[in-house]
């Protein structure tokens, strides 16, 4: 097991935001944390990243696993070029680091943009630069906090496809926070549904559909319908095995 969360809780003052959240993630899985705004998705991710140490419970990450984090905003340094942002924080030989960064900039489609500054980039290009910066550290686990939420629909789809290419090439374990059901279903092996006040893990849904997936498939439509029912507190109304069969035929 790459990562395990046991009895995770988080309190801010008198307000309990999370309680008794339990899940594990295997090597190479893509897992989405899904729920309504304010349910604590990003709080879970910040705890996993070590950005918030004031949680209750236990988080175990295999000792040989390097962790990368991609924020909702690109958070590029405005006075540095794309290439300098991609190598920021790396130690060792500067030229070697730059060559390494160029490989990842090419992977994310920014081969010709290395000398540009953040102010010269579109929103999608800036987020690609942030992804390259995270990949340069060669993380085994990549944590993403709603990284595509501020982008237009077409750019969002492009970056979702990029994320899948990264996963296919490197076998990276990916944990994605999102409030977009379509995004979670298109990308994920599993969807963890957070609900309640305080939030806990209400459902761990295994999306047993092969890739590549069709965004408009009947299978994904069935999954979306069921997740919406779960978010509204309704009972499951159909057989998941049927959904899997539909997906295999799509």
Is residue 3 domain-resident?
no
Which token pair is 170?
A: 């490197």
- Quote the CA–CA distance of 217 and 23 in Å, as a whole number: 28
Q: Are residues 133 and 21 in the same domain?
A: no
- Quote the CA–CA distance of 84 and 88 in Å, as a whole number: 6
Task: Convert the chain into a string of H (helix), E (strand) and C (coil).
Answer: CCEEEEEEEEEECCEEEEEEEEEEECCCCEEEEECCCCCCHHHHHHHHHCCCCCCEEEEEECCCCCEEEECCCCCCCCCCCHHHHHHCCCCCCHHHHHHHHHHHHHHCCCHHHCCCCHHHCCHHHHHHHHHHHHHHCCCCEEEEECCCCCCCHHHHHHHHHHHHHHHHHHCCEEEEEECCHHHHHHHCCEEEEEECCCEEEEEEEECCCCCCCCCCCHHHHHHHHHHHHHHCCCCCCCCHHHHHHHHHHC
Is residue 239 domain-resident?
yes
- Quote the CA–CA distance of 80 and 170 in Å, as a whole number: 28
Q: Are residues 31 and 84 in the same domain?
A: no
| Mean pLDDT calculated for residue range 167-193 | 96
- Quote the CA–CA distance of 109 and 97 in Å, as a whole number: 18
Q: Which pLDDT belongs to residue 245?
A: 41
Q: Are residues 238 and 163 in the same domain?
A: yes
Residue 190, pLDDT > 90, answer: yes
Residue 200, pLDDT > 50, answer: yes
Residue 70, pLDDT > 50, answer: yes
- Residue for token digits 């060669």? 138
- Residue for token digits 């594990």? 24
Is residue 193 domain-resident?
yes
Q: Which domain holds residue 116?
A: 75-138
- Confidence band of 125 (pLDDT split at 50, 70, 90): very high
Residue 241, pLDDT > 50, answer: no
Which token pair is 139?
A: 């993380």
- Quote the CA–CA distance of 108 and 101 in Å, as a whole number: 11
What digits encode the pLDDT tens for the residues 79-99?
999 999 999 989 999 999 999
Residue 246, pLDDT > 90, answer: no
Q: Are residues 58 and 171 in the same domain?
A: yes
Is residue 84 domain-resident?
yes
Among 96, 115, 138, the domain-final residue is 138
| Mean pLDDT calculated for residue range 173-177 | 97
Q: Are residues 113 and 145 in the same domain?
A: no
Q: Are residues 124 and 235 in the same domain?
A: no
Look up the CATH number of the domain holding residue 164: 3.40.50.300
CB count within 10 Å of CB 129 equals 26
Residue 247, pLDDT > 90, answer: no
Residue 180, pLDDT > 70, answer: yes
Among 106, 138, 170, the domain-final residue is 138
Q: Which pLDDT belongs to residue 9?
A: 97
Among 118, 138, 158, the domain-final residue is 138
Is residue 245 domain-resident?
yes
Task: Find the helix packing angle between 153-170 and 94-107, rounded to 10°.
Answer: 120
| Mean pLDDT calculated for residue range 32-55 | 94
Q: Are residues 206 and 230 in the same domain?
A: yes
Question: Structurally, how many domains does the chain consist of?
Answer: 2
Q: Which residue has the higher pLDDT, 17 or 232?
A: 17
Q: Are residues 149 and 33 in the same domain?
A: yes
Q: Are residues 85 and 55 in the same domain?
A: no
């Amino acid at each position: 097991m790459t990562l395990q969360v046991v009895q995770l809780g988080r309190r801010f003052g008198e307000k309990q935001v999370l309680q008794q959240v339990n899940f594990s993630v295997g090597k190479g899985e893509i897992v989405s944390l899904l729920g309504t705004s304010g349910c604590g998705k990003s709080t879970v991710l910040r705890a996993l990243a070590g950005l918030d140490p004031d949680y209750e419970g236990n988080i175990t990450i295999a000792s040989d696993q390097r962790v990368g984090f991609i924020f909702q905003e690109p958070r590029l340094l405005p006075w540095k070029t794309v290439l300098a942002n991609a190598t920021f924080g790396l130690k060792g030989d500067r030229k070697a680091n730059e060559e390494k960064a160029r490989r990842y900039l090419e992977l994310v489609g920014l081969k010709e943009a290395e000398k540009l500054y953040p102010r010269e980039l579109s929103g999608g290009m800036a987020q690609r630069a942030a992804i390259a910066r995270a990949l340069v550290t060669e993380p085994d686990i990549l944590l993403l906090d709603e990284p595509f939420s501020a982008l237009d629909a077409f750019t969002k789809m492009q970056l979702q496809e990029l994320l899948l290419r990264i996963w296919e090439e490197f076998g990276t374990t990916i944990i994605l926070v999102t409030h977009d059901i379509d995004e979670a279903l298109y990308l994920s092996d599993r969807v963890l549904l957070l609900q309640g006040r305080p939030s806990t893990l209400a459902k761990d849904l295994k999306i047993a559909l092969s890739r590549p997936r069709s965004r408009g498939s009947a299978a994904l439509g069935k999954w979306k319908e069921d997740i919406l029912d779960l978010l509204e507190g309704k009972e499951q109304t159909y057989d998941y095995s049927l959904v899997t069969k539909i997906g295999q035929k799509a």
